[in-house]
A and B are shown apart, each in its own frame.
Chain A
Amino acid sequence: MRDPLNKKIVGIKPSGIRKFFDVVSEMKDAISLGVGEPDFETPWHIREEGIYSLEKGRTYYSSNAGIKELRIEICKYLKRRFDLEYDPLKEILVTIGGSEAIDMALRVMLEEGDEVILPQPSYVSYEPCVVMAGGKPVILELKEENEFKLTRRDLLAAITDKTKILILPFPNNPTGSVMSKQELAEIVDVIIEKDIFVLSDEIYAELTYGEKHVSIASFPGMKERTIVINGFSKSYAMTGWRLGYAAGPEVIIRQILKLHQFAIMCAPTTSQYAAVEALKNGDQDVAMMCEAYDGRRRFLIHELRRMGLSCFEARGAFYVFPCIKSLGMTSEEFATALLNEEKVAVVPGTAFGDCGEGFLRISYAYSIDKIKVALERIERFINAHR
Protein backbone atom coordinates (compact mmCIF):
# COMPACT_ATOMS: atom_id res chain seq x y z
CA MET A 1 0.00 0.00 0.00
CA ARG A 2 1.15 3.53 -0.68
CA ASP A 3 1.95 5.88 2.18
CA PRO A 4 -1.41 7.50 2.93
CA LEU A 5 0.15 10.51 4.61
CA ASN A 6 1.59 13.86 3.73
CA LYS A 7 5.24 14.04 4.73
CA LYS A 8 5.13 17.67 5.74
CA ILE A 9 2.31 17.02 8.19
CA VAL A 10 3.91 13.88 9.57
CA GLY A 11 7.12 15.84 10.08
CA ILE A 12 5.47 18.38 12.37
CA LYS A 13 6.23 17.45 15.94
CA PRO A 14 3.28 17.12 18.30
CA SER A 15 2.67 19.85 20.86
CA GLY A 16 4.87 19.62 23.95
CA ILE A 17 1.81 20.40 26.03
CA ARG A 18 0.00 17.41 24.64
CA LYS A 19 2.85 15.14 25.73
CA PHE A 20 2.71 16.53 29.22
CA PHE A 21 -1.07 16.33 29.28
CA ASP A 22 -0.91 12.58 28.79
CA VAL A 23 1.32 12.26 31.87
CA VAL A 24 -0.83 14.56 34.00
CA SER A 25 -4.16 13.03 33.13
CA GLU A 26 -2.97 9.75 34.68
CA MET A 27 -2.63 11.53 38.01
CA LYS A 28 -6.04 11.70 39.62
CA ASP A 29 -5.79 14.19 42.47
CA ALA A 30 -3.23 16.57 41.03
CA ILE A 31 -3.59 20.31 41.56
CA SER A 32 -3.09 22.05 38.29
CA LEU A 33 -1.62 25.45 37.55
CA GLY A 34 -1.33 24.37 33.97
CA VAL A 35 -4.36 25.63 32.14
CA GLY A 36 -4.45 28.24 29.43
CA GLU A 37 -8.02 29.38 29.95
CA PRO A 38 -9.89 31.51 32.49
CA ASP A 39 -11.33 29.97 35.65
CA PHE A 40 -14.33 32.28 35.40
CA GLU A 41 -17.43 31.01 33.71
CA THR A 42 -18.76 33.09 30.86
CA PRO A 43 -20.77 35.89 32.52
CA TRP A 44 -24.39 34.81 32.82
CA HIS A 45 -25.90 37.63 30.76
CA ILE A 46 -23.73 36.52 27.82
CA ARG A 47 -24.65 32.85 28.23
CA GLU A 48 -28.28 33.83 28.57
CA GLU A 49 -28.14 35.65 25.24
CA GLY A 50 -26.77 32.48 23.64
CA ILE A 51 -29.63 30.49 25.14
CA TYR A 52 -32.13 33.08 23.92
CA SER A 53 -30.81 32.82 20.38
CA LEU A 54 -31.42 29.07 20.54
CA GLU A 55 -34.93 29.61 21.88
CA LYS A 56 -35.61 31.97 19.02
CA GLY A 57 -34.54 29.24 16.63
CA ARG A 58 -31.47 31.04 15.30
CA THR A 59 -29.90 27.73 14.44
CA TYR A 60 -28.87 28.44 10.85
CA TYR A 61 -25.61 29.32 9.14
CA SER A 62 -24.71 32.95 9.43
CA SER A 63 -23.13 34.94 6.61
CA ASN A 64 -19.59 33.70 5.96
CA ALA A 65 -17.88 36.68 7.51
CA GLY A 66 -20.09 36.58 10.60
CA ILE A 67 -23.37 38.27 11.46
CA LYS A 68 -23.30 41.92 10.53
CA GLU A 69 -24.34 43.13 13.95
CA LEU A 70 -21.36 41.35 15.49
CA ARG A 71 -18.93 42.79 12.96
CA ILE A 72 -20.26 46.26 13.69
CA GLU A 73 -19.86 45.71 17.43
CA ILE A 74 -16.32 44.41 16.91
CA CYS A 75 -15.42 47.58 15.02
CA LYS A 76 -16.91 49.77 17.74
CA TYR A 77 -14.97 47.81 20.33
CA LEU A 78 -11.65 48.06 18.49
CA LYS A 79 -12.17 51.79 18.14
CA ARG A 80 -13.20 52.25 21.77
CA ARG A 81 -10.44 50.18 23.33
CA PHE A 82 -7.49 50.44 20.95
CA ASP A 83 -8.27 53.35 18.66
CA LEU A 84 -8.34 51.08 15.59
CA GLU A 85 -10.65 51.85 12.69
CA TYR A 86 -12.01 49.09 10.50
CA ASP A 87 -14.86 48.76 8.04
CA PRO A 88 -17.25 46.11 9.41
CA LEU A 89 -18.25 45.05 5.91
CA LYS A 90 -14.82 44.58 4.39
CA GLU A 91 -12.13 44.39 7.02
CA ILE A 92 -13.46 42.01 9.68
CA LEU A 93 -13.84 38.24 9.60
CA VAL A 94 -15.35 36.26 12.47
CA THR A 95 -13.54 32.95 12.92
CA ILE A 96 -13.53 29.77 15.01
CA GLY A 97 -11.35 31.17 17.77
CA GLY A 98 -8.18 33.15 17.19
CA SER A 99 -6.48 29.93 16.07
CA GLU A 100 -8.39 29.68 12.80
CA ALA A 101 -7.57 33.28 12.02
CA ILE A 102 -3.85 32.64 12.58
CA ASP A 103 -3.85 29.57 10.36
CA MET A 104 -5.86 31.16 7.56
CA ALA A 105 -3.94 34.43 7.56
CA LEU A 106 -0.64 32.58 7.17
CA ARG A 107 -1.98 30.38 4.40
CA VAL A 108 -3.30 33.36 2.53
CA MET A 109 -0.13 35.40 2.75
CA LEU A 110 2.78 32.97 2.46
CA GLU A 111 4.46 31.67 -0.68
CA GLU A 112 6.60 28.53 -0.52
CA GLY A 113 9.88 29.44 1.17
CA ASP A 114 8.84 32.82 2.58
CA GLU A 115 10.36 33.42 5.98
CA VAL A 116 8.29 34.17 9.04
CA ILE A 117 9.97 35.67 12.08
CA LEU A 118 8.60 33.86 15.05
CA PRO A 119 9.54 35.12 18.50
CA GLN A 120 9.63 32.37 21.13
CA PRO A 121 8.70 31.38 23.80
CA SER A 122 5.22 31.76 22.39
CA TYR A 123 1.97 29.96 21.73
CA VAL A 124 2.33 26.47 20.31
CA SER A 125 0.35 26.88 17.07
CA TYR A 126 2.39 29.45 15.20
CA GLU A 127 5.24 27.23 14.10
CA PRO A 128 3.17 24.35 12.70
CA CYS A 129 0.81 26.81 11.01
CA VAL A 130 3.75 28.51 9.29
CA VAL A 131 5.10 25.16 8.14
CA MET A 132 1.71 23.99 6.87
CA ALA A 133 1.36 27.21 4.93
CA GLY A 134 4.68 26.52 3.19
CA GLY A 135 6.59 29.18 5.09
CA LYS A 136 9.88 28.85 6.86
CA PRO A 137 9.81 29.70 10.57
CA VAL A 138 12.78 31.76 11.70
CA ILE A 139 12.88 31.47 15.46
CA LEU A 140 13.77 34.63 17.32
CA GLU A 141 14.70 33.99 20.94
CA LEU A 142 13.13 36.42 23.37
CA LYS A 143 15.38 36.90 26.35
CA GLU A 144 14.70 37.13 30.03
CA GLU A 145 17.01 40.13 30.42
CA ASN A 146 14.72 42.00 28.00
CA GLU A 147 11.68 40.81 29.91
CA PHE A 148 10.89 38.63 26.89
CA LYS A 149 10.10 41.66 24.74
CA LEU A 150 11.00 41.96 21.08
CA THR A 151 13.83 44.46 20.64
CA ARG A 152 14.74 46.43 17.55
CA ARG A 153 18.17 44.86 17.53
CA ASP A 154 16.93 41.27 17.65
CA LEU A 155 14.40 42.01 14.95
CA LEU A 156 16.98 43.55 12.63
CA ALA A 157 19.25 40.56 13.10
CA ALA A 158 16.49 38.13 12.11
CA ILE A 159 15.37 39.89 8.94
CA THR A 160 16.57 38.58 5.55
CA ASP A 161 15.52 39.26 1.94
CA LYS A 162 13.01 36.44 2.29
CA THR A 163 11.27 37.72 5.41
CA LYS A 164 7.60 38.31 4.73
CA ILE A 165 5.79 38.19 8.07
CA LEU A 166 6.57 38.97 11.68
CA ILE A 167 4.39 37.25 14.24
CA LEU A 168 3.90 39.57 17.18
CA PRO A 169 2.58 37.60 20.17
CA PHE A 170 1.90 40.19 22.88
CA PRO A 171 0.60 40.10 25.60
CA ASN A 172 2.47 36.84 25.55
CA ASN A 173 1.52 33.31 26.39
CA PRO A 174 3.57 31.80 28.16
CA THR A 175 5.76 34.60 29.54
CA GLY A 176 3.15 37.22 30.41
CA SER A 177 5.35 39.80 28.72
CA VAL A 178 3.76 42.92 27.17
CA MET A 179 5.08 45.57 24.80
CA SER A 180 4.44 49.22 25.54
CA LYS A 181 3.70 51.90 22.99
CA GLN A 182 7.28 53.11 23.25
CA GLU A 183 8.73 49.64 22.72
CA LEU A 184 6.49 49.06 19.71
CA ALA A 185 7.47 52.43 18.27
CA GLU A 186 11.07 51.25 18.15
CA ILE A 187 10.29 48.40 15.78
CA VAL A 188 7.63 50.05 13.64
CA ASP A 189 9.99 51.88 11.28
CA VAL A 190 12.05 48.71 10.77
CA ILE A 191 8.91 46.85 9.76
CA ILE A 192 7.84 49.55 7.33
CA GLU A 193 11.30 50.08 5.86
CA LYS A 194 11.85 46.35 5.31
CA ASP A 195 8.33 45.99 3.89
CA ILE A 196 7.25 43.24 6.26
CA PHE A 197 3.71 42.26 7.30
CA VAL A 198 2.70 41.69 10.89
CA LEU A 199 0.43 39.05 12.34
CA SER A 200 -0.38 40.57 15.71
CA ASP A 201 -1.97 38.08 18.08
CA GLU A 202 -3.77 40.27 20.60
CA ILE A 203 -6.02 37.66 22.17
CA TYR A 204 -4.87 38.70 25.67
CA ALA A 205 -5.21 42.43 24.94
CA GLU A 206 -7.72 43.00 27.75
CA LEU A 207 -5.53 41.32 30.33
CA THR A 208 -2.76 43.78 31.04
CA TYR A 209 -1.82 45.04 34.47
CA GLY A 210 -0.54 48.56 34.45
CA GLU A 211 -0.54 50.25 31.07
CA LYS A 212 -3.35 49.60 28.63
CA HIS A 213 -2.57 47.37 25.66
CA VAL A 214 -1.46 49.18 22.50
CA SER A 215 -2.03 47.56 19.12
CA ILE A 216 0.76 47.89 16.59
CA ALA A 217 -1.92 48.48 13.95
CA SER A 218 -2.65 51.86 15.56
CA PHE A 219 0.71 53.29 14.40
CA PRO A 220 0.65 55.34 11.20
CA GLY A 221 1.48 53.17 8.19
CA MET A 222 0.88 49.92 10.08
CA LYS A 223 -2.80 49.21 9.58
CA GLU A 224 -2.26 48.33 5.92
CA ARG A 225 0.40 45.76 6.79
CA THR A 226 -1.07 44.23 9.95
CA ILE A 227 -3.55 41.47 10.60
CA VAL A 228 -4.91 41.87 14.13
CA ILE A 229 -6.05 38.61 15.72
CA ASN A 230 -8.40 38.86 18.67
CA GLY A 231 -11.32 36.98 20.14
CA PHE A 232 -13.61 36.31 23.05
CA SER A 233 -11.93 33.36 24.75
CA LYS A 234 -9.67 35.11 27.22
CA SER A 235 -11.27 38.51 27.76
CA TYR A 236 -14.83 37.27 28.24
CA ALA A 237 -13.99 33.77 29.48
CA MET A 238 -15.56 32.17 26.40
CA THR A 239 -13.02 29.52 25.36
CA GLY A 240 -15.55 26.80 24.67
CA TRP A 241 -17.66 29.03 22.42
CA ARG A 242 -14.82 29.03 19.87
CA LEU A 243 -15.06 32.55 18.62
CA GLY A 244 -12.38 34.93 17.40
CA TYR A 245 -11.80 37.37 14.59
CA ALA A 246 -9.28 38.83 12.23
CA ALA A 247 -9.16 42.54 11.38
CA GLY A 248 -7.00 43.76 8.54
CA PRO A 249 -6.70 45.25 5.08
CA GLU A 250 -9.50 44.32 2.70
CA VAL A 251 -7.14 42.65 0.17
CA ILE A 252 -6.04 40.11 2.77
CA ILE A 253 -9.37 39.67 4.58
CA ARG A 254 -11.11 38.97 1.27
CA GLN A 255 -8.80 36.03 0.58
CA ILE A 256 -9.11 34.70 4.12
CA LEU A 257 -12.86 34.92 3.74
CA LYS A 258 -12.61 32.76 0.63
CA LEU A 259 -10.68 30.04 2.46
CA HIS A 260 -12.93 30.30 5.49
CA GLN A 261 -15.97 29.96 3.26
CA PHE A 262 -14.71 26.70 1.78
CA ALA A 263 -13.27 25.18 4.95
CA ILE A 264 -15.54 26.40 7.73
CA MET A 265 -18.60 28.11 6.26
CA CYS A 266 -19.19 30.31 9.30
CA ALA A 267 -18.44 30.55 13.00
CA PRO A 268 -21.11 29.06 15.33
CA THR A 269 -24.22 31.22 15.15
CA THR A 270 -25.13 30.81 18.84
CA SER A 271 -21.68 32.00 19.86
CA GLN A 272 -21.95 35.01 17.61
CA TYR A 273 -25.17 36.20 19.22
CA ALA A 274 -23.66 35.72 22.67
CA ALA A 275 -20.60 37.69 21.55
CA VAL A 276 -22.74 40.67 20.52
CA GLU A 277 -23.97 40.84 24.11
CA ALA A 278 -20.40 40.50 25.40
CA LEU A 279 -19.23 43.49 23.38
CA LYS A 280 -22.27 45.60 24.16
CA ASN A 281 -22.52 44.99 27.90
CA GLY A 282 -19.41 43.13 28.99
CA ASP A 283 -16.89 45.88 29.84
CA GLN A 284 -17.61 45.56 33.54
CA ASP A 285 -17.08 41.81 33.54
CA VAL A 286 -13.73 42.26 31.88
CA ALA A 287 -12.70 44.86 34.46
CA MET A 288 -13.79 42.59 37.32
CA MET A 289 -11.85 39.60 36.00
CA CYS A 290 -8.82 41.71 35.24
CA GLU A 291 -8.74 43.04 38.80
CA ALA A 292 -8.99 39.52 40.21
CA TYR A 293 -6.16 38.26 37.98
CA ASP A 294 -3.99 41.20 38.98
CA GLY A 295 -4.23 40.34 42.69
CA ARG A 296 -3.33 36.73 42.05
CA ARG A 297 -0.48 37.77 39.75
CA ARG A 298 1.10 39.93 42.44
CA PHE A 299 0.66 37.22 45.02
CA LEU A 300 2.19 34.54 42.82
CA ILE A 301 5.20 36.60 41.77
CA HIS A 302 5.81 37.66 45.37
CA GLU A 303 5.69 34.10 46.67
CA LEU A 304 7.87 32.64 43.90
CA ARG A 305 10.49 35.29 44.53
CA ARG A 306 10.31 34.65 48.25
CA MET A 307 11.12 31.01 47.51
CA GLY A 308 14.23 32.21 45.74
CA LEU A 309 13.14 31.77 42.12
CA SER A 310 13.88 34.63 39.78
CA CYS A 311 10.65 35.71 38.22
CA PHE A 312 10.30 38.79 36.08
CA GLU A 313 7.32 41.08 36.55
CA ALA A 314 4.86 39.71 33.99
CA ARG A 315 2.27 42.35 33.14
CA GLY A 316 -0.06 40.53 30.80
CA ALA A 317 -2.16 37.43 30.13
CA PHE A 318 -2.54 35.13 33.16
CA TYR A 319 0.85 33.50 33.35
CA VAL A 320 4.10 33.99 35.17
CA PHE A 321 7.32 32.50 33.84
CA PRO A 322 9.75 31.82 36.68
CA CYS A 323 13.31 30.67 36.06
CA ILE A 324 14.29 27.36 37.66
CA LYS A 325 17.87 27.15 36.40
CA SER A 326 19.21 27.50 39.96
CA LEU A 327 17.87 24.04 40.78
CA GLY A 328 19.97 22.28 38.17
CA MET A 329 17.06 20.56 36.47
CA THR A 330 15.65 20.94 32.99
CA SER A 331 12.14 22.34 32.71
CA GLU A 332 10.76 18.97 31.86
CA GLU A 333 12.58 17.23 34.70
CA PHE A 334 11.30 19.85 37.12
CA ALA A 335 7.71 19.66 35.92
CA THR A 336 7.71 15.86 35.93
CA ALA A 337 9.28 15.60 39.38
CA LEU A 338 6.95 18.25 40.79
CA LEU A 339 4.02 16.31 39.47
CA ASN A 340 5.24 12.99 40.84
CA GLU A 341 6.35 14.23 44.24
CA GLU A 342 3.86 16.99 45.05
CA LYS A 343 1.11 16.41 42.50
CA VAL A 344 1.22 19.92 41.13
CA ALA A 345 0.99 20.37 37.38
CA VAL A 346 2.79 23.26 35.67
CA VAL A 347 3.89 23.44 32.06
CA PRO A 348 7.60 23.20 31.13
CA GLY A 349 8.83 26.30 29.29
CA THR A 350 10.14 24.12 26.49
CA ALA A 351 6.57 23.43 25.36
CA PHE A 352 6.67 26.96 23.93
CA GLY A 353 9.99 26.69 22.11
CA ASP A 354 13.48 25.41 22.90
CA CYS A 355 14.46 28.76 24.38
CA GLY A 356 11.87 28.17 27.11
CA GLU A 357 14.40 25.80 28.68
CA GLY A 358 15.00 26.69 32.31
CA PHE A 359 11.55 28.21 32.77
CA LEU A 360 8.07 27.11 33.79
CA ARG A 361 4.71 28.48 32.81
CA ILE A 362 2.52 28.90 35.87
CA SER A 363 -1.04 29.96 35.27
CA TYR A 364 -3.03 32.06 37.73
CA ALA A 365 -6.40 31.30 36.24
CA TYR A 366 -7.25 29.72 39.61
CA SER A 367 -8.78 30.89 42.86
CA ILE A 368 -6.36 32.37 45.34
CA ASP A 369 -7.04 29.48 47.72
CA LYS A 370 -5.96 26.94 45.12
CA ILE A 371 -2.90 28.99 44.26
CA LYS A 372 -1.92 29.06 47.94
CA VAL A 373 -2.13 25.28 48.32
CA ALA A 374 -0.12 24.75 45.14
CA LEU A 375 2.51 27.25 46.25
CA GLU A 376 2.98 25.48 49.58
CA ARG A 377 3.70 22.30 47.70
CA ILE A 378 6.03 24.01 45.25
CA GLU A 379 7.97 25.50 48.14
CA ARG A 380 8.33 22.12 49.81
CA PHE A 381 9.53 20.68 46.51
CA ILE A 382 12.11 23.42 45.99
CA ASN A 383 13.45 23.07 49.51
CA ALA A 384 13.81 19.34 49.05
CA HIS A 385 15.82 19.77 45.84
CA ARG A 386 18.03 22.70 46.69
Chain B
Amino acid sequence: MKEKILRIIEKNSRITTEELAIMLGAAREEVETALAEMETDKIICGYPTLIDWDKLSGEKITALIEVKVTPQRGQGFDRIAERIFKFDEVETVYLMSGGFDLTVIIRGKSMREVAGFVSAKLAPMEAVLSTATHFVLKRYKENGIVMQNDEQDERMIVSP
Protein backbone atom coordinates (compact mmCIF):
# COMPACT_ATOMS: atom_id res chain seq x y z
CA MET B 1 0.00 0.00 0.00
CA LYS B 2 2.66 2.49 1.08
CA GLU B 3 4.88 1.65 -1.85
CA LYS B 4 1.96 1.98 -4.26
CA ILE B 5 1.20 5.44 -2.85
CA LEU B 6 4.84 6.43 -3.22
CA ARG B 7 5.01 5.27 -6.82
CA ILE B 8 2.07 7.52 -7.69
CA ILE B 9 3.07 10.63 -5.74
CA GLU B 10 6.68 10.35 -6.78
CA LYS B 11 5.47 11.42 -10.22
CA ASN B 12 2.71 13.76 -9.09
CA SER B 13 2.53 15.04 -5.53
CA ARG B 14 -0.45 17.27 -6.30
CA ILE B 15 -2.86 14.36 -6.54
CA THR B 16 -5.48 14.56 -3.78
CA THR B 17 -5.80 11.94 -1.05
CA GLU B 18 -9.29 11.24 -2.30
CA GLU B 19 -8.05 10.49 -5.80
CA LEU B 20 -5.30 8.33 -4.36
CA ALA B 21 -7.86 6.38 -2.37
CA ILE B 22 -9.98 5.76 -5.48
CA MET B 23 -6.99 4.67 -7.53
CA LEU B 24 -5.83 2.25 -4.89
CA GLY B 25 -9.27 0.96 -3.99
CA ALA B 26 -8.74 1.99 -0.37
CA ALA B 27 -10.52 4.21 2.14
CA ARG B 28 -9.47 7.84 2.23
CA GLU B 29 -8.62 7.63 5.93
CA GLU B 30 -6.34 4.70 5.22
CA VAL B 31 -4.41 6.73 2.64
CA GLU B 32 -4.21 9.73 4.96
CA THR B 33 -2.89 7.60 7.81
CA ALA B 34 -0.29 6.02 5.55
CA LEU B 35 0.85 9.42 4.31
CA ALA B 36 1.05 10.82 7.84
CA GLU B 37 3.08 7.84 8.99
CA MET B 38 5.49 8.16 6.12
CA GLU B 39 5.89 11.87 6.83
CA THR B 40 6.64 11.14 10.49
CA ASP B 41 9.12 8.43 9.55
CA LYS B 42 10.74 10.80 7.04
CA ILE B 43 10.07 8.35 4.24
CA ILE B 44 8.35 11.30 2.64
CA CYS B 45 10.75 14.18 3.29
CA GLY B 46 8.89 16.94 1.47
CA TYR B 47 6.80 17.79 -1.57
CA PRO B 48 9.04 20.06 -3.65
CA THR B 49 8.37 21.19 -7.20
CA LEU B 50 10.67 20.38 -10.08
CA ILE B 51 11.47 23.72 -11.70
CA ASP B 52 13.38 24.41 -14.86
CA TRP B 53 15.01 27.66 -13.76
CA ASP B 54 16.71 28.00 -17.09
CA LYS B 55 13.38 29.03 -18.60
CA LEU B 56 13.32 32.20 -16.46
CA SER B 57 15.31 35.26 -17.48
CA GLY B 58 17.45 35.65 -14.35
CA GLU B 59 18.94 32.24 -14.84
CA LYS B 60 20.71 30.33 -12.11
CA ILE B 61 23.93 28.41 -12.20
CA THR B 62 24.37 24.95 -10.81
CA ALA B 63 27.73 23.50 -9.87
CA LEU B 64 28.75 20.06 -8.77
CA ILE B 65 31.74 20.12 -6.46
CA GLU B 66 33.88 17.11 -5.64
CA VAL B 67 35.26 17.56 -2.14
CA LYS B 68 38.00 15.61 -0.42
CA VAL B 69 37.91 15.88 3.35
CA THR B 70 39.56 14.45 6.45
CA PRO B 71 37.08 12.39 8.41
CA GLN B 72 36.93 13.26 12.09
CA ARG B 73 37.52 10.93 14.96
CA GLY B 74 34.32 9.40 16.25
CA GLN B 75 32.11 11.28 13.80
CA GLY B 76 33.39 10.09 10.45
CA PHE B 77 32.13 12.31 7.67
CA ASP B 78 28.86 13.36 9.28
CA ARG B 79 30.13 16.42 11.10
CA ILE B 80 31.89 17.95 8.13
CA ALA B 81 28.94 17.08 5.89
CA GLU B 82 26.64 18.92 8.27
CA ARG B 83 28.85 21.98 8.35
CA ILE B 84 28.59 22.07 4.59
CA PHE B 85 24.90 21.32 4.11
CA LYS B 86 23.84 24.01 6.57
CA PHE B 87 24.70 26.67 4.00
CA ASP B 88 21.56 27.83 2.17
CA GLU B 89 23.39 27.81 -1.15
CA VAL B 90 23.96 24.08 -0.85
CA GLU B 91 21.23 22.07 -2.50
CA THR B 92 22.52 18.52 -2.19
CA VAL B 93 25.28 16.70 -0.31
CA TYR B 94 26.16 13.05 -0.85
CA LEU B 95 28.87 10.92 0.74
CA MET B 96 30.60 9.08 -2.07
CA SER B 97 32.70 6.00 -2.57
CA GLY B 98 35.70 6.29 -4.88
CA GLY B 99 38.16 9.07 -5.66
CA PHE B 100 36.64 11.79 -3.48
CA ASP B 101 34.44 11.97 -0.41
CA LEU B 102 31.55 14.40 -0.80
CA THR B 103 29.50 15.57 -3.75
CA VAL B 104 28.18 19.04 -3.06
CA ILE B 105 25.70 20.56 -5.47
CA ILE B 106 25.19 24.28 -5.12
CA ARG B 107 23.06 26.74 -6.96
CA GLY B 108 23.94 30.41 -7.35
CA LYS B 109 23.01 33.46 -9.37
CA SER B 110 26.30 33.62 -11.22
CA MET B 111 29.54 31.82 -11.74
CA ARG B 112 31.22 34.44 -9.58
CA GLU B 113 28.84 33.79 -6.72
CA VAL B 114 29.50 30.06 -6.88
CA ALA B 115 33.25 30.61 -7.10
CA GLY B 116 33.03 33.00 -4.14
CA PHE B 117 31.28 30.39 -2.06
CA VAL B 118 33.88 27.77 -2.85
CA SER B 119 36.89 29.97 -2.20
CA ALA B 120 35.54 31.87 0.80
CA LYS B 121 33.47 29.23 2.60
CA LEU B 122 34.08 25.70 1.45
CA ALA B 123 37.79 25.39 0.60
CA PRO B 124 39.12 27.10 3.74
CA MET B 125 37.33 24.69 6.10
CA GLU B 126 39.87 22.88 8.17
CA ALA B 127 38.72 19.39 7.22
CA VAL B 128 38.53 20.15 3.50
CA LEU B 129 41.61 18.93 1.67
CA SER B 130 40.66 19.87 -1.88
CA THR B 131 37.74 20.82 -4.13
CA ALA B 132 37.02 20.42 -7.84
CA THR B 133 34.17 22.50 -9.21
CA HIS B 134 32.19 21.46 -12.29
CA PHE B 135 29.56 23.79 -13.72
CA VAL B 136 26.37 22.29 -15.15
CA LEU B 137 25.83 23.34 -18.75
CA LYS B 138 22.46 21.78 -19.43
CA ARG B 139 19.99 19.73 -17.46
CA TYR B 140 18.47 16.94 -19.51
CA LYS B 141 16.70 14.84 -16.91
CA GLU B 142 16.14 15.30 -13.23
CA ASN B 143 14.28 13.13 -10.72
CA GLY B 144 13.15 10.88 -13.55
CA ILE B 145 11.62 13.75 -15.47
CA VAL B 146 12.91 14.82 -18.86
CA MET B 147 13.26 18.60 -18.72
CA GLN B 148 12.70 19.54 -22.38
CA ASN B 149 9.93 17.11 -23.11
CA ASP B 150 7.63 18.26 -25.86
CA GLU B 151 6.72 14.83 -27.16
CA GLN B 152 3.22 14.58 -28.56
CA ASP B 153 0.86 11.65 -28.40
CA GLU B 154 1.49 10.20 -31.83
CA ARG B 155 -0.99 7.36 -31.59
CA MET B 156 -3.92 7.27 -33.97
CA ILE B 157 -6.80 8.96 -32.24
CA VAL B 158 -9.04 5.90 -32.38
CA SER B 159 -7.94 2.36 -33.06
CA PRO B 160 -9.49 -1.06 -32.54
- A contacts, CB < 8 Å to B: 15, 17, 20-21, 24-25, 30, 32, 34-37, 39, 123-125, 173, 291, 294-296, 298-299, 302-303, 345, 347, 351, 368-369
Contact = CB atoms under 8 A, between A and B. Distances in A.
A125 B160 CA distance: 9
30 contacts: A17-B158, A21-B157, A21-B159, A24-B157, A25-B157, A34-B159, A35-B155, A35-B156, A35-B157, A36-B159, A37-B155, A39-B153, A39-B155, A123-B160, A124-B160, A291-B4, A291-B7, A295-B8, A295-B24, A296-B23, A298-B23, A299-B22, A299-B23, A303-B22, A345-B157, A347-B158, A368-B15, A368-B19, A368-B23, A369-B12
B19 A35 contact: no
B46 interface: no
Contact of A345 (B4, B7, B158): B158
Contacts of B155: 35, 37, 39
Contacts of B156: 21, 35
Interface size class of B (residues with CB under 8 A): 10 to 19
B160 to A, nearest CB: 5
B156 to A, nearest CB: 7
Contacts of B98: none
Given A17-B159, A17-B160, A299-B22, 20 more contacts: A17-B158, A21-B156, A21-B158, A30-B157, A34-B158, A34-B159, A35-B156, A35-B157, A35-B159, A37-B155, A37-B159, A39-B153, A39-B155, A124-B160, A291-B4, A291-B7, A294-B23, A298-B24, A302-B22, A368-B12
B23 A295 contact: yes
Contacts of A30: 157
Contacts of B157: 21, 24-25, 30, 32, 34-35, 345
A119 to B, nearest CB: 16
A322 B58 CA distance: 51
Contact of A298 (B7, B12, B25, B153): B25
A167 to B, nearest CB: 15
Contacts of A124: 160
Contacts of A298: 22-25
A8 to B, nearest CB: 21
Interface in B145-159: 153, 155-159
Contacts of B23: 294-296, 298-299, 368
